[in-house]
């Protein structure tokens, strides 16, 4: 996170623009007072503090009723601070300004400067200023606190650094301490990394500790990188270690991938090891890919290896398909073999399908073959459809053939015609029955007519019964006429009984009327 805030304490060209806009908002004419104010402010921009102070004092004497009077009073206090005048006198100057102009737009800046001065004076042992700092910290004015904090951060020197650290050390507020660590992360003091490391390992709040890690990651120095690595290795706090790992994942230093790979392969905490794996998965360089391969092969933690597989699969590319296929076919862990087949399904279809087809053909593990079939269904495409239909029709393993049907049903588009083809061509009666049930489960307009046609043309009793129950599973009134014809026909009792049960399963008013007709009961008028 980068905090960029140009306050009125800063000497920058933006202030000139703000002043011109402000003048327009106040409706001030560009008269003598405006010209005099601009000339005096020009001395501020040039950091000529003595000249600026004299100019603003003259301005107050010459234009006591000017709309710029509050700004002139503020800048006099500001120049006194810059000139190194007695800090207690400067503090009193700001207090008098706030009392005189409580509604001025410069009041927040004045209060921010008061906080800075009070922090410095309290460190000198002046108890009355300690009370002021304490009162500031206990205040509910969060806006003022942030103004003071950002103002101190923008000063960018050791004095400001010490003041920000002092504010951190005296603040019981988690929210304010969290903001402070981000300000510290954007300060250029050489002491920043040391202080943020201390906060990351010692602060009472887990949130603040993690924020300190992320603030430190904004530093591009080798000291910051080594400090984050050390926290990732040794800190006993899992949340902080995980934050350190993810912070390293966003670092482009060439040695980071190897470090994260080591954490992923060897760390005793699987959650931290998985975090390192995911961090590598977000990197696009070849070194990260090499580390993910090592994790898959060398990690002793199953869940970490699994995380590496999915991270590897999410990278895409032909190397991902080849690596995951090898795991699916050769790994000693059956669960990982199965999950590798599922992970391949996340790749683009043109990469996934050839690898999955090989797994179905070569794997000796039925669960892996089933996983590959379902991944083929998820990958989609004409080739996938053709392969699944062929598997359902020809594979001698009934379980695989039925799972090919399940995989087909998960593909986009209508599958009714494909199921009808399987019913007509499959050698296994169980597979043909499963295709019938699958038609009944499809919410397609063509499903019920297709089942009715099969029921009329099919002569295999078990398939006829399966078609009847598939019609019942639709739950639709459109199935009622087909079932009523069977129930009142001259076919086998087993078929008529199944048709009655299917009508009861549908349970709609139309189905109930059909059952009443079958029983010879005349409905009430």
- pLDDT at 105 > cutoff 50: yes
CATH of the domain at 96: 1.25.40.10
pLDDT value of residue 148: 61
Q: Cβ neighbours of residue 34 under 8 Å, at least 6 residues apart?
A: 23, 28, 68
Domain hosting 26: range is 1-166
pLDDT digits (tens, 9 = 90+) for 238-247: 889 999 999 9
Confidence of residue 2 (pLDDT cuts 50, 70, 90): very low
Q: Cβ neighbours of residue 264 under 8 Å, at least 6 residues apart?
A: 273, 274, 276, 277, 280, 291, 295, 299, 304, 308
pLDDT value of residue 479: 92
DSSP 8-state assignment for residue 282: T
pLDDT value of residue 151: 60
Confidence of residue 411 (pLDDT cuts 50, 70, 90): confident
Q: 317's torsion region: left (phi>0), alpha (psi -120 to 50) or beta? A: left
Asked, for residue 118, whether it belongs to a domain, the answer is yes
pLDDT digits (tens, 9 = 90+) for 482-491: 999 999 988 8
DSSP 8-state assignment for residue 522: P
Over residues 41-62, the mean pLDDT reads 94
Confidence of residue 347 (pLDDT cuts 50, 70, 90): confident
Asked, for residue 5, whether it belongs to a domain, the answer is yes
Asked, for residue 304, whether it belongs to a domain, the answer is no
pLDDT value of residue 246: 92
Asked, for residue 177, whether it belongs to a domain, the answer is no
Rounded to whole angstroms, the Cα distance separating 357 from 395 reads: 13
Long-range contacts for 91-97 (Cβ within 8 Å, ≥24 apart)?
A: 91/117, 91/118, 91/121, 91/129, 97/70, 97/73
- How many Cβ atoms from other residues are within 10 Å of residue 494's Cβ? 13
**For the ranges 118-127, 277-286, 299-308, which has the lowest average pLDDT?**
118-127
- pLDDT at 331 > cutoff 90: yes
Rounded to whole angstroms, the Cα distance separating 257 from 268 reads: 19
- Do 430 and 437 form a contact (C-beta atoms < 8 A)? no
Asked, for residue 151, whether it belongs to a domain, the answer is yes
Kindly list the distances between the CA atom of residue 109 and the CA atoms of 143, 146, 176, in Å, as whole numbers in the listed order: 11, 11, 18
- Do 373 and 363 form a contact (C-beta atoms < 8 A)? no
pLDDT value of residue 29: 41
**For the ranges 102-111, 200-209, 428-437, 506-515, which has the lowest average pLDDT?**
102-111
Rounded to whole angstroms, the Cα distance separating 242 from 400 reads: 42
pLDDT value of residue 111: 82
pLDDT value of residue 5: 36
Over residues 333-352, the mean pLDDT reads 90
pLDDT value of residue 375: 93
Hey, what are 507's tokens? 């349970």
User: Per residue, what are the HEC states of 63-79?
Assistant: CCCCCCHHHHHHHHHHH
Over residues 356-364, the mean pLDDT reads 95
Cα torsion angle, 396, 398, 399, 405, sign: positive
Asked, for residue 32, whether it belongs to a domain, the answer is yes
Long-range contacts for 411-414 (Cβ within 8 Å, ≥24 apart)?
A: 411/377, 411/380, 411/384, 411/385, 412/380, 414/442, 414/444, 414/446
- Do 78 and 62 form a contact (C-beta atoms < 8 A)? no
Asked, for residue 64, whether it belongs to a domain, the answer is yes
Number of domains in the chain: 1
Over residues 434-463, the mean pLDDT reads 88
- pLDDT at 421 > cutoff 70: yes
pLDDT value of residue 159: 65
pLDDT value of residue 24: 37
Kindly list the distances between the CA atom of residue 41 and the CA atoms of 19, 93, 237, in Å, as whole numbers in the listed order: 10, 19, 52
**For the ranges 131-135, 305-309, 360-364, 378-382, which has the lowest average pLDDT?**
131-135
**For the ranges 10-14, 284-288, 315-319, 355-359, which has the lowest average pLDDT?**
10-14
Q: What is the pTM of this model?
A: 0.61
Over residues 65-82, the mean pLDDT reads 94
- pLDDT at 11 > cutoff 50: no
Confidence of residue 16 (pLDDT cuts 50, 70, 90): very low
* Burial profile 327-337: b = 16 or more Cβ within 10 angstroms, e = fewer: bbbebeeeebb
Hey, what are 422's tokens? 């399987």
Q: Which of 354, 331, 328 is nearest to 339 (CA)?
A: 328
pLDDT value of residue 3: 35
Report the mean per-residue pLDDT for the chain. 84
Over residues 16-26, the mean pLDDT reads 35
Helix (H) or strand (E) holding 107: helix 107-123
- pLDDT at 470 > cutoff 50: yes
Asked, for residue 25, whether it belongs to a domain, the answer is yes
Q: Which residue has the higher pLDDT, 272 or 185?
A: 272
């Amino acid at each position: 996170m980068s905090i960029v805030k140009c306050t009125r304490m800063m000497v920058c060209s933006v202030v000139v623009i703000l002043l011109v806009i402000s003048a327009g908002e106040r409706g001030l004419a560009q008269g003598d007072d405006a010209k005099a104010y601009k000339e005096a402010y020009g001395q501020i921009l040039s950091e000529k503090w003595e000249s600026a102070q004299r100019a603003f004092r003259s301005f107050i004497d010459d234009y006591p009723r000017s709309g710029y009077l509050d700004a002139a009073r503020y800048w006099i206090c500001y120049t006194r601070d810059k000139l190194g005048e007695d800090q207690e006198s400067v503090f009193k100057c700001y207090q008098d300004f706030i009392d005189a102009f409580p509604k001025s737009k410069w009041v927040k800046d004045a209060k921010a400067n008061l906080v800075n001065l009070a922090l410095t004076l309290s460190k000198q042992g002046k108890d009355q200023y300690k009370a002021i700092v304490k009162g500031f910290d206990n205040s509910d004015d969060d806006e003022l606190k942030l103004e003071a904090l950002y103002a101190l951060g923008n000063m960018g020197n050791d004095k400001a650094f010490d003041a920000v650290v002092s504010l951190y050390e005296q603040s019981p507020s988690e929210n304010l301490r969290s903001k402070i660590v981000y300000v510290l992360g954007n300060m250029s003091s050489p002491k920043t990394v040391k202080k943020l490391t201390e906060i990351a390992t010692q602060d009472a709040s887990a949130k603040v500790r993690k924020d300190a890690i992320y603030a430190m990651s904004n530093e591009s120095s080798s000291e910051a990188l080594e400090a984050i690595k050390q926290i990732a290795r040794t800190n006993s706090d899992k949340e902080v270690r995980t934050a350190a790992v993810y912070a390293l994942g966003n670092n482009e230093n060439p040695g980071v991938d190897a470090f994260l790979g080591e954490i992923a392969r060897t760390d005793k905490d699987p959650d931290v090891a998985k975090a390192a794996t995911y961090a590598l998965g977000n990197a696009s360089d070849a070194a990260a890919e090499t580390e993910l391969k090592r994790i898959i092969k060398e990690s002793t933690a199953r869940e970490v290896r699994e995380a590496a597989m999915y991270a590897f699969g999410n990278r895409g590319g032909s190397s991902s398909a080849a690596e995951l296929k090898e795991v699916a076919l050769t790994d000693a862990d059956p669960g990982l073999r199965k999950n590798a087949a599922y992970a391949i399904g996340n790749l683009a279809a043109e990469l996934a399908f050839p690898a999955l087809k090989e797994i179905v053909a070569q794997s000796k593990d039925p669960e892996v073959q089933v996983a590959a079939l379902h991944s083929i269904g998820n990958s989609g495409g004409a080739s996938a459809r053709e392969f699944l239909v062929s598997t359902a029709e020809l594979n001698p393993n009934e379980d695989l053939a039925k799972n090919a049907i399940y995989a087909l049903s998960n593909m986009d588009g209508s599958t009714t015609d494909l199921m009808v083809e399987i019913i007509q061509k499959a050698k296994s009666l169980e597979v043909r029955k499963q295709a019938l049930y699958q038609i009944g489960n499809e919410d397609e307009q063509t499903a019920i007519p297709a089942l009715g046609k099969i029921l009329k043309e099919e002569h295999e009793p078990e398939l006829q019964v399966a078609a009847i129950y598939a019609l019942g599973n639709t739950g639709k009134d459109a199935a009622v006429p087909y079932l009523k014809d069977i129930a009142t026909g001259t076919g086998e009792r087993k078929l008529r009984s199944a048709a009655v049960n299917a009508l009861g399963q549908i349970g709609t008013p139309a189905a109930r009327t059909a059952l009443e007709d079958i029983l010879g009961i005349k409905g009430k008028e």
